[in-house]
Amino acid sequence: MLQFEKLGLFLSKPVSILLVVIYLLQSGLLIYLITDKFDLEKQIRFQQKRIDELEEKLQIFKAIEDIQIGFSDQEVGKLANTIYDESKRYHYDPMFVLAIIMTESSFKKGQKSNFGARGLMQVVPFVGKDLASRSGIDWDGSGTLFQPETNIKLGTLHLFEQILEFGDINKALVAYNMGETRVRGMLRRNTPLPDRYIKKVLNNYKNLKETYQS
């Protein structure tokens, strides 16, 4: 007989072993339930993240579908994915990227400016070539900028570098539009930077958010 002095109980050895086994089984079951609950919550979070991602991509797709000129449905889908991915890479709101594209090219396929800027985000060839060489993007001449997905990758990178350079989104936008050298010259001369481009981007951004994220 085993004596449990504190409890004042006398238990046989088999009963004691049985109680230990029951305790271990209960502990194991509790651990299993806790682990199972954790795994379930993890799965729920993962699925919710996927749902949020799909909803955001759908918003982007709808916006592109409404404003684009000259793209097929398949191209619109690819563009939506590219804008989503590049926005996450640089922590942009995708609607902000769309606003810049609207301002730059009206989301028209094959757009080219009088100054030689090309594609959706109106990147000039010498800037595009430099960005491509530093970011590992294939460059096959200025025609590369008419590849919509590549253009967006280069354009979003260019804007990100301007933000890092000037530490200010407004200055970065003006530099993206006018060129970094011109903006630096204006800042040295204490010349006020023009705000027409900024206002146009922000107005497009506001309209996009109200239409597709409200």
Question: What is the chain's pLDDT, residue by residue, as a tens digit (214 residues)?
Answer: 444 444 444 556 666 676 666 776 777 777 877 776 667 677 777 677 777 888 999 999 999 999 999 999 999 999 999 999 999 999 999 999 999 999 999 999 999 999 899 999 999 999 999 999 999 999 999 999 999 999 999 999 999 999 999 999 999 999 999 999 999 999 999 999 999 999 999 999 999 999 998 7
Q: Has residue 2 been placed in a domain?
A: no
Q: H/E element holding 2?
A: strand 2-4
**Which residues, 6 or more positions from 125, have their beta carbon under 8 angstroms from its beta carbon?**
116, 118, 142, 145
According to DSSP, the residues that pair with 132 across neighbouring strands are none
Q: Has residue 48 been placed in a domain?
A: yes
DSSP string, 85-149: HHHHHHT--HHHHHHHHHHHHTTBTT-B-TTS-BTTTTB-HHHHHHHHHHHT----SGGGGGSHH
Length of the chain: 214
Domain residues for the domain of 37 are 12-212
Q: Has residue 76 been placed in a domain?
A: yes
User: Domain total for the chain?
Assistant: 1
Q: Has residue 4 been placed in a domain?
A: no
Q: Has residue 40 been placed in a domain?
A: yes
Checking phi first, is residue 196 left (phi over 0); if not, alpha (psi -120 to 50) or beta? alpha
Q: Has residue 3 been placed in a domain?
A: no
Q: Cα angle vertex 174, ends 115, 177, to 5°?
A: 20
Torsion of CA 89, 71, 127, 188, to 10 degrees: -80
Q: H/E element holding 11?
A: strand 9-11
Q: Read off the CATH number of the domain in which 123 is found.
A: 1.10.530.10
Q: Has residue 110 been placed in a domain?
A: yes
Q: Has residue 184 been placed in a domain?
A: yes
